[in-house]
Amino acid sequence: GSAAAPSSSSSSSASKRNRPAVLLSGSGSSSGGMPEEDAAAVTEVYLPAPSAAAFPLLLDYIYHDRLPPGGLDPTNAPSLRHLSKHFSVQSLFETVGSFVKSDLTPRTAPDYCVAADAVMDKELVDAALRKCAEGLLFPKAGRGTEVEVEKLPPKLMIELVTCRHVQSKIGRGRNRNAPEKMSEIGCRYIRNR
């Protein structure tokens, strides 16, 4: 089979990233066209563009029962999670889930938020937002723990500031300065945009 994504003359990488891609499989002529009688043998699968880009990793996993070294990172794990659910590859779903569980930190959370949002994985977006909020409200000393909120698009920043995790921490009195802190972070985010 072959994979084809719609092409566009637009230079906006964000709009390209969010367009659905079409994966085609079937037998066709060597010129890439489909003979009329083979049209019924074609399966079209519409996927978010990031999932289509991660499709070769899914195939690697299916054919070799493993991902290539370094095959998972915060930007492609949500796409592979989406693909593993879509195509019912339970062992890949578990592999990705274990990776995300060990890799999701306040530092990596913004990348997970953006990538999970691109494949409409609300559960992972929420988990990553909780980790962002945790890092912002209860920062730990040391390098590598900063939350880079500037990576978040405005829609996700709004979700972060209003997320239940932040509100529950305020309600339980664990961080009485949380409203002011989140306002300060929001203002800094807006200034830097």
- Express each pLDDT in 9-63 by its tens digit: 333 444 444 555 555 444 344 445 555 656 667 888 889 999 999 999 999 999 9
Rounded to whole angstroms, how far apart are CA atoms 122 and 19?
18
Residues 80, 58 contacting (CB under 8 angstroms):
yes
Per-residue model confidence as pLDDT tens digits over 123-163: 999 999 999 988 888 777 555 567 899 999 999 998 888 87
Q: What are the boundaries of each domain within the chain? A: 104-193
User: 86-135, pLDDT tens digit by residue?
Assistant: 999 999 999 999 999 999 999 999 999 999 999 999 999 999 999 998 88
Q: What is the pLDDT of residue 12?
A: 42
**What is the DSSP annotation of 55-123?**
HHHHHHHHHHSSPPTT---TTTHHHHHHHHHHTT-HHHHHHHHHHHHHH--TTTHHHHHHHHHHTT-HH
